[in-house]
Amino acid sequence: MSDPLATPEHETTPDAEASAIAAVAQAAVEEADHAMRHWADPSPEPVKLGSPRHLSLFCNMLLQTHNPYKPAVIEWPQLSPEALGRVTSLPIWDIAVQTEGRASIRVETFAATVQEPLLRRALEMDGTEEARHKVVLSKLVQAYGIPLAPEPSYPPPDDPEWGWLVTGYSECIDSFFAFGLFAAAKRSGFFPAELVETFEPVIQEEGRHILFFVNWAAWYRRNLPWWRRPLFALKVARVWAFLIWERIGIARGIDPDGVAQDANFTMNGSAALGEALSPRSMIELCLAENERRMAGYDSRLLRPETVPRLARLARRLLR
């Protein structure tokens, strides 16, 4: 006769059940992570820039690679006192939280002006992801007891298109350098591996955003009547001038919006990250990371080119 207290073969112990659930959850997380990094439209035909097919290509890329993670359930890893000290003393948290706050209102404001339903949905998703970045950062700051300056308000921009262009092109600049800095921080152990892993999806999301943005810009320009194109080109030039001026201001510690108090991640980040990389190797790392992060998406989508091109030029000058 069998032992009545023994677990029958077809039943599982609570421990086994818990680890089975954890394994399923882990597999789901890995699947979502893979899905956010790899995407191609199934139909193989070439896509003409500016065409309706191009529009659906870049909108579907963004919509279908959305990773549904919930900031509320992120488990922030316990850090050693040294790692905690390094993370806490990084002069980036105020500016990072405020950048995400401004990005979400700018993207949402622009999304509300768009009539085309698919584009509007993609823009709304972009804005939601920016808002989520802000929540992730707030949770991180809370978890590690990082003090933040009081937050400003985030008024919607008077010109929604200007706000969208400023956010889009500034992400093209900042993400390019953030890719390299993040890799450097990971390599040098400045950020502990678990923290890198926890924060990784946010960085990849910015990669998707700039990919979406440069394709939108190409599509939009091609769909403007000829007489509006010079004005749009002028506006884009003004946006770049503004962004360069803004970054010079931040690097000097003067804040153009009168809100962010700390130094700019992309300008001063590499010095703070503790790895003595030469400017040249830093640029190489940014270029390699940029390529790696963009590699998984449909090759018919345009890649962000302006900043990598400038970086390659700088690399040549540093030789």
Q: Which residues bind Fe ion (CB under 5 A)?
A: 100, 130, 133, 171, 206, 209
Q: Cα separation of 261 and 254, whole Å? A: 8
Q: How far apart are CB 100 and Fe ion at their closest, in Å?
A: 5
Q: How far apart are CB 193 and Fe ion at their closest, in Å?
A: 23
Q: Cα separation of 38 and 161, whole Å? A: 29
In terms of phi and psi (left: phi > 0; alpha: psi -120 to 50; beta: otherwise), the region of 145 is left
**Which residue lies nearer to Fe ion by CB, 47 or 98?**
98
The angle that helices 193-222 and 117-143 make with each other, rounded to 10 degrees, is 160
**CA distances (Å), origin 80, targets 40, 129, 245:** 41, 30, 39
**Which residue lies nearer to Fe ion by CB, 83 or 137?**
137
Residue 253 DSSP SS3: coil
**Which residue lies nearer to Fe ion by CB, 154 or 280?**
154
**Which residue lies nearer to Fe ion by CB, 47 or 172?**
172
Q: How far apart are CB 244 and Fe ion at their closest, in Å?
A: 20
Q: How far apart are CB 178 and Fe ion at their closest, in Å?
A: 10
In terms of phi and psi (left: phi > 0; alpha: psi -120 to 50; beta: otherwise), the region of 60 is alpha
What does the angle CA 40 – CA 45 – CA 46 come to, to the nearest 5 degrees? Answer: 90
**Which residue lies nearer to Fe ion by CB, 100 or 275?**
100
Q: How far apart are CB 209 and Fe ion at their closest, in Å?
A: 4
Q: What are phi and psi of 39, to 5 degrees?
A: -155, 135
Distance of CA 7 to the CA centre of its chain: 49
Q: Cα separation of 27 and 39, whole Å? A: 19
**Which residue lies nearer to Fe ion by CB, 100 or 289?**
100
Q: How far apart are CB 267 and Fe ion at their closest, in Å?
A: 18
The DSSP bridge partners found for residue 39 are 297
Token couple for 223: 């769909």
**Which residue lies nearer to Fe ion by CB, 100 or 108?**
100
**Which residue lies nearer to Fe ion by CB, 179 or 275?**
179
Q: Cα separation of 76 and 141, whole Å? A: 10
Q: Are 256 and 246 in contact (CB under 8 A)?
A: yes
Q: Are 207 and 313 in contact (CB under 8 A)?
A: no
Q: How far apart are CB 33 and Fe ion at their closest, in Å?
A: 17
Q: How far apart are CB 133 and Fe ion at their closest, in Å?
A: 4
